[in-house]
Structure 1
Amino acid sequence: MIKADYHLHTNFSSDSTAPMESMIRQGIASGLEILCFTEHHDIDYPENPDHFDFLLDLPAYKTRLSELKETYQDQIEINYGIELGLMPSTLDQCSDFVKDEAFDFIIGSTHIVDQMDPYDAVYFETYPSRRGLERYLEDILTNVLSFHDYCVYGHLDYAARYIKDKNFQFHYSDFGDLIDEILKRIISAGKGIEVNTAGLKYGMPDPNPHHEILRRYLELGGEILTIGSDGHCPEHMAYDFSILPEFLRSLGFRYYTVFRNQKPEFLPL
């Protein structure tokens, strides 16, 4: 059983209404041993119909997490993380935001490309399915070439969750050179990637990223692999974690990773 969920959001993230304590109680009830909260911080997130700003109130978040960490210290380990929404135009600001803060774990993620979130219909109305995913990956490559203040890159094919074309099928060969360059840059920087089970929640056959990306990451020498549900409410915590050990072992993985003080530690699958 996977005992650690390293991608969680509460009402400190614009798109969640879940109190942190409710997530902690669910984690305990689910048999998890480690939780890492990774609240959103997306600088310059564009105007959107839900009026989300995705700017984190860091002092309030840190205070509440510290209180609950102490309250539940005998029942579950609680770690201090953040999910940075990365855009080429905001990388310096993201570095400044995290540089003096003692986070256990930092996810770097791409949510916005060309001032659009693939979550919103306008993205794939603007770009055909294949080009939309390619454009998304191009921005990730730009980010990893110059940004290094992260532990893992999150949901590498996040955009694929929202492709509406039922005839679209992911083929690694369509994006192979681009994906390889991304993975090589991540590995050479001593960083990792995550397995994000929200892809399964959205009805995809694989978690994010696609199993061919995971297999290629391992072939290229990638070892750091965190597991996260991307849960925004208690019922989505540890989503489909039960299928992951067999799934990942079938690809050749033998370990997954947790972080404390931004240092990776490997646990057997």
Structure 2
Amino acid sequence: MQADYHVHCEFSDDSVYPMEDVVTDAIGLGLEELCFTDHVDYGIKVDWDSGQEIVWRNGEPMANVDYPRYFAKIADMQEKYGDRIRIRRGLELGVQSHTIPQFEALTKKYPLDFAILSIHQVGDEEFWNGEFLQGRTRREFNEAYYREMLRVVQSFKNYSVLGHMDLIARYDPEGGYPFDEVKDLIEEILKVVIADGKGIEVNTSSVRYGLSDWQPSTKILELYRDLGGRIITIGSDSHKPAHLAAHISAAKEMLKGLGFREFCTFDKGDPVFHPL
């Protein structure tokens, strides 16, 4: 089974990759299944129909997915290309503890095949621009990141997998924080995830970002394995053609080397297991 389960297109505010081009490119790459997972980040972005002013950055709107157009387009792609590739309805949910009610309402209104739960901000402070790191020691911003993740998974259950779990490593000027310093927090998070029947993803964008390890790290993956975790998806986090399906085969080999035997796709919210 060849699948990419973290894919962005023009409905994400950080991509201009046309959805139909993603589909035809995926077919050309031999993918059998594809899940669109465009961004929703309440707290720092608004919905198109919210009545609030939309902020523009570098010519692109800082807004969440235009849901009616997005899901209608996915339906069109399923109709047009369904005999050549399976296309799933997904979103990447940038949840914060104070935005959980908005995500509860969203996921109730729009049923999904698959939802990635990501921590992209804490207290509406972003990672990519250094805002969240500013004024905090390395220990403080790493612990604050995982504590927010723990709060979210304890309260929010309408997701499929936890996305790029150690995302903060991408923005840490010194690289990945020592695992043993946050192991207890990570273990608490993973125990909740597993008990809730949820999973985690391997996000292969770690390769293009030049990280020294996979994302999540092999230590996190080993801990997940040892705790009994089985549900794993693999996604490229693609935003342009060069990203699509990149390094997924290598990720499968890495998982096999760690003792995993299966990975997952999703159908109407339920995991479907495939041999690695």
Q: TM-score range by the shorter chain?
A: over 0.9
Alignment partners' CA distance in 1, 2:129 and 2:63: 15
Structure 1 residues 3-12 or 170-179, which shifts more? 170-179
TM normalised by structure 2 equals 0.92
* Aligned match for 2:143, one of 134, 139, 151: 134
Give the match for residue 16 of structure 2: 17
Secondary structure of the corresponding residue to residue 125 of structure 1:
coil
Over 3 Å counting, the alpha-carbon distance change for 1:251 and 1:170 in structure 2 is: farther
Whether 1:45 aligns to 2:44 is: yes
Aligned length: 266
Q: Matches of 1:178 and 1:22 in 2, distance apart?
A: 40
Aligned to 1:185: 192
Alignment of 1:240-255 (within 5 A): 240-255=247-262
- 1:224 match: 231
CA distance 1:229–1:141, shift in 2 (3 Å): same
Q: Give the letter for the 2:12 counterpart.
A: S
Partner SS for 1:121: coil
Name the structure 1 match of 2:242.
Answer: 235
What is the aligned counterpart of 1:197 among 204, 208, 212? Answer: 204
Higher deviation after alignment, 235-244 or 80-89: 235-244
Tell me the residue number matched to 1:105: 114
2:205 is matched by which residue type in structure 1?
A
What is the SS of the residue equivalent to 1:16? coil
- Alpha-carbon distance between aligned partners in 2 of 1:255 and 1:112, rounded to the nearest angstrom: 31
Structure 1's consecutive aligned runs of 4 or more residues displaced over 3 angstroms after TM superposition are 46-52
Counterpart of 1:68 (choices 53, 59, 77) is 77
> CA offsets per residue over residues 121-147 of structure 1, 9 Å max, x none?
233333233332221111100001111
- Alpha-carbon distance in 2 for matches of 1:245, 1:54: 34
Q: Does the Cα contact within 8 Å between 1:133 and 1:157 map onto a contact in 2?
A: no
Contact 1:43 1:54 in 2 (8 A): no
Which residue number corresponds to residue 48 of structure 2? Answer: none
8 Å CA contact 2:41–2:64 kept in 1: the answer is yes
Percentage identity across paired residues of the two chains: 40
Are 2:26 and 1:27 aligned? yes
Deviations 1:161-217 (A, max 9, x none): 11122xx44332111110000000000011001000111110012221111001100
Counterpart AA for 2:213: D
Matched letter for residue 252 of structure 1: G
Q: Secondary structure of the equivalent of 2:188?
A: helix
Give the structure 2 partner of residue 149 of structure 1. Answer: 158
**Separation (CA, whole Å) in 2 of partners of 1:170 and 1:17:** 33
What CA distance in whole angstroms lies between the structure 2 residues aligned with 1:49 and 1:81? Answer: 25
Does residue 83 (structure 1) correspond to residue 82 (structure 2)? The answer is: no
Q: Tell me how far apart the structure 2 counterparts of residues 134 and 31 of structure 1 sit (CA, whole Å).
A: 41
